[in-house]
């Protein structure tokens, strides 16, 4: 068995890992964006070198002047962008520190809640020990157990009789002559018919032996009704004895101050829920900051777009294109070297564009996986799977299913269904199936976790020895 808090910690570790992958991918996208700008700036410098080589070209001076001006504008934009990026990083760091502090606060509050649950558990164990030694309680428990056994047996007997009636009654219901006489109430005071019809019905009755058949079918109809009536009466008696036993449990718990301890536990639970609410609000803000950071890294901010557009517009100038065309047609080796470098730069730019596209796809996948993990963690807390005493029966199965979920081989809905099926509640000292808790009708023991137990958290009726073997 693995505890709920251990499982929650595993989910938290997966969230941390996914965030680290997102940050690593974000850094690579940012580096690619910076590299794209550097390539464009280098490209501009190469054009300037080309213009200086061709001092006789009519457009050389204007080209050099324009490139210099563009570089100054781009530099100013990139400096402003660097400042904005640093501010955004600081916001993210502060958000991360706040999240860490809240998680520490939550861990502490979870410990406090666990102590409150332990107090309830210990008190319930003492109460159960006291009740176990009281003759009056023992007598009522035996009466309730015996009444439940009788009721279950009576219900099973009535069900068998009803099934037998259904099977054995088929031959009667399929006989058209029998059903004709039965529906006309032949042979009973309710039978009404004229002289001729009465004479004909009598011949039919003698032909098929209706008198004996009617008696047998009547008994077949009456026995299940009597047995079901008896079963209902025994069930009512069992319910009465059960309620009496449960009331004794309630009175004993109240006398030992358990409701007050449960109130403390509920107060601590509310404190934990409030912290979770603050974590969710902070996480929503943090996710927005991360989206801004991703957009910034991808070069989707205004400063980056303007810088790229300045450089791109510079390369679209007619005189710059003319300068390149002339360089391609001249025999000078210096021109050829620069043109070769420009071609290499263009190839590098295309490579970086392809890499950026792949990184953005990877980022989208990491972001989707993180969203699923955060939703899982939120639902895990909402269902209180991590409360004291709560855990999962098959730890290996839960670990495998969680791993499959992280690999995208299992949906969050399916994982939650497995968690619910595997959920168990095991207090350290008290027995949730003690007394009235062992009848498969929920329990008042276990710190208010009757809802968990009622859903099969302890195997239902007889799950821990309650009424097993009564049938």
* The token pair that represents 148 in the structure block: 């439940």
pLDDT digits (tens, 9 = 90+) for 71-81: 677 778 878 88
Burial class (CB in 10 A: 0-12, 13-18, 19+), 228: middle
- Residue that is written with structure tokens 């039965």 in the block: 182
Average pLDDT score over residue span 424-431: 79
Task: Pinpoint the alpha helices (H) of 209-332.
Answer: 210-255, 258-297, 302-315, 318-329
Under the banding of pLDDT at 50, 70 and 90, the label for residue 468 is: very low
Distance, CA of 386 to CA of 379 (rounded, Å)? 11
What is the reported pLDDT for 39? 82
pLDDT score of 254 more than 90: yes
Extract the tokens encoding 462: 């007889």
What's residue 448's pLDDT? 45
Nearest alpha-carbon partner for 115 in 267, 8, 1, 236:
267
Q: What is the CA radius of gyration of the chain?
A: 41
Please determine, for residue 216, whether its predicted confidence score (pLDDT) is greater than 90: no
pLDDT at 381: 86
Check: CB of residue 373 under 8 Å from CB of residue 18.
Answer: yes
Q: Is the dihedral of CA 337, 338, 343, 348 positive or negative?
A: positive
pLDDT bin (cut points 50, 70, 90) of residue 456 is very low
> pLDDT: is 456 or 445 the higher one?
445
Task: With a cut of 60, say whether residue 450 has pLDDT above it.
Answer: no
- What confidence category does residue 467 fall into, taking pLDDT thresholds of 50, 70 and 90? very low
Res 109: pLDDT: 93
Q: What pLDDT was estimated at residue 426?
A: 72
3-state secondary structure of 471: coil
Rank 172-181, 234-243, 312-321, 461-470 by mean pLDDT and report only the highest: 234-243
Per-residue pLDDT band for 57 (boundaries 50, 70, 90) equals very low
What's residue 466's pLDDT?
36
Say if residues 418 and 412 touch (Cβ distance below 8 Å).
no
H helices, E strands: number in the chain: 14, 3
- DSSP for 159-175 reads HHHHHHHHHHTHHHHT-
For residue 81, CA distances in Å to 31, 37, 157, 292, 402 come to 14, 12, 83, 13, 41
Question: Residue 454: what pLDDT?
Answer: 40
Q: How confident is the model at residue 234 (pLDDT cuts 50, 70, 90)?
A: very high
Q: How, if at all, do strands 2-3 and 423-425 pair? A: unpaired
82-96, 244-258, 395-409, 443-457: range with lowest mean pLDDT: 443-457
Short-list 163, 159, 165, 141, CA closest to 231: 159
- pLDDT category of residue 252 using cuts at 50, 70 and 90: very high
The confidence score (pLDDT) of residue 173 equals 84
| Mean model confidence pLDDT for the chain | 81
Work out the pLDDT band at 136, boundaries 50, 70, 90: very high
Mean pLDDT of 190-206: 84
Q: What is the percent of the chain where pLDDT is above 90? A: 25
CA distances from 172 to 168, 183, 225, 329 (A): 8, 12, 18, 109
Token duo for residue 112: 């406090």
Q: Could you tell me the residue ranges of all domains in the chain? A: 142-255
Q: How far apart are CA 244 and CA 118, in angstroms?
A: 28
Instruction: Specify whether the CB–CB gap between 286 and 96 falls below 8 A.
Output: yes
pLDDT exceeds cutoff 60 at 272: yes
Burial of 83 per CB tally in 10 Å (0-12, 13-18, 19+):
exposed
* 2 DSSP β-pair partners: 392
Q: What is the pLDDT of residues 325-334, one digit of tens each?
A: 665 666 556 6
d(CA 263, CA 377): 26
What value does the mean pLDDT take over residues 56-68? 56
> What band does 194 get if pLDDT is binned at 50, 70 and 90?
confident
Residue 71, helix vs strand vs coil: helix
Compute the distance between CA of residue 240 and CA of residue 246 in angstroms, rounded to an integer. Answer: 10
pLDDT digits (tens, 9 = 90+) for 160-171: 988 888 888 888
User: Is the confidence at residue 464, as pLDDT, over 50?
Assistant: no
156 has a pLDDT exceeding 90 = yes
Lowest mean pLDDT among 51-55, 171-175, 198-202, 231-235: 51-55
pLDDT at 31 (0 to 100): 85
In the β-sheet with 390-392, what is the strand arrangement from edge to edge?
2-3, 390-392, 423-425
User: Residue 428: phi, psi to the nearest 5?
Assistant: -80, -30
Dist CA 288 CA 367 (whole Å):
12
Q: What percent of the chain has pLDDT over 70?
A: 83
User: From CA 242, how far away is CA 235, in angstroms rounded?
Assistant: 10
> Which carries the bigger pLDDT value, residue 403 or residue 317?
403
- For range 375-391, the mean pLDDT: 83
């Amino acid at each position: 068995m693995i505890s709920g808090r251990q499982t929650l910690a595993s989910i938290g570790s997966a969230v941390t890992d996914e965030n680290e992958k997102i940050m690593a991918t974000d850094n690579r996208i940012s580096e690619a964006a910076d590299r794209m700008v550097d390539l464009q700036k280098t490209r501009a410098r190469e054009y300037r070198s080309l213009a200086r080589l061709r001092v006789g070209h009519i457009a050389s001076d204007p080209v050099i002047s324009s490139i210099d001006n563009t570089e100054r504008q781009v530099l100013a934009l990139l400096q402003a962008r660097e400042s904005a990026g640093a501010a955004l990083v600081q916001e993210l760091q502060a958000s991360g520190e706040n999240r860490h502090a809240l998680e520490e606060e939550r861990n502490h509050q979870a410990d406090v809640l666990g102590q409150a649950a332990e107090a309830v558990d210990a008190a319930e164990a003492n109460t159960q020990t006291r009740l176990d030694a009281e003759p009056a309680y023992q007598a009522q428990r035996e009466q309730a157990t015996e009444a439940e056994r009788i009721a279950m047996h009576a219900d099973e007997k009535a069900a068998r009789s009803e099934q037998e009636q259904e099977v054995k009654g088929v031959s009667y219901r399929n006989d058209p002559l029998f059903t004709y006489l039965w529906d006309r109430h032949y042979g009973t005071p309710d039978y009404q018919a004229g002289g001729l019809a009465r004479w004909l019905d009598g011949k039919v009755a003698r032909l098929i032996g209706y008198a004996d058949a009617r008696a047998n079918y009547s008994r077949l109809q009456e026995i299940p009704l009597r047995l079901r009536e008896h079963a209902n009466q025994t069930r009512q008696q069992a319910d009465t004895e059960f309620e009496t036993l449960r009331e004794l449990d309630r009175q004993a718990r109240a006398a030992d101050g358990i409701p007050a301890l449960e109130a403390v536990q509920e107060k601590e639970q509310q404190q934990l829920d409030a912290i979770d609410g603050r974590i969710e609000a902070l996480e929503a803000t943090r996710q927005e900051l991360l989206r801004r950071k991703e957009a910034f890294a991808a070069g989707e901010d205004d400063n980056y777009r303007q810088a790229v557009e300045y450089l791109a517009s510079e390369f679209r100038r007619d005189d710059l294109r003319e300068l390149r065309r002339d360089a391609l047609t001249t025999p000078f080796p210096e021109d050829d070297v620069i043109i070769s470098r420009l071609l290499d730069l263009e190839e590098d730019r295309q490579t970086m564009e392809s890499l950026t596209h792949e990184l953005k796809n990877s980022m989208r996948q990491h972001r989707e996986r993180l969203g699923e993990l955060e939703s899982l963690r939120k639902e895990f807390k909402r269902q209180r799977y991590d409360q004291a005493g709560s855990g999962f029966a098959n730890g290996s199965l839960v670990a495998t299913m969680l791993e499959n979920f992280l690999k995208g081989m299992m949906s969050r809905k399916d994982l939650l269904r497995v968690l619910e099926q595997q959920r168990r509640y095991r207090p350290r000292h008290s027995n949730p199936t003690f007394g009235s808790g062992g009848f498969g009708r929920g329990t008042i023991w276990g710190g208010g976790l009757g809802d968990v137990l009622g859903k099969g958290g302890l195997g239902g009726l007889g799950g821990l020895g309650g009424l097993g073997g009564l049938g």
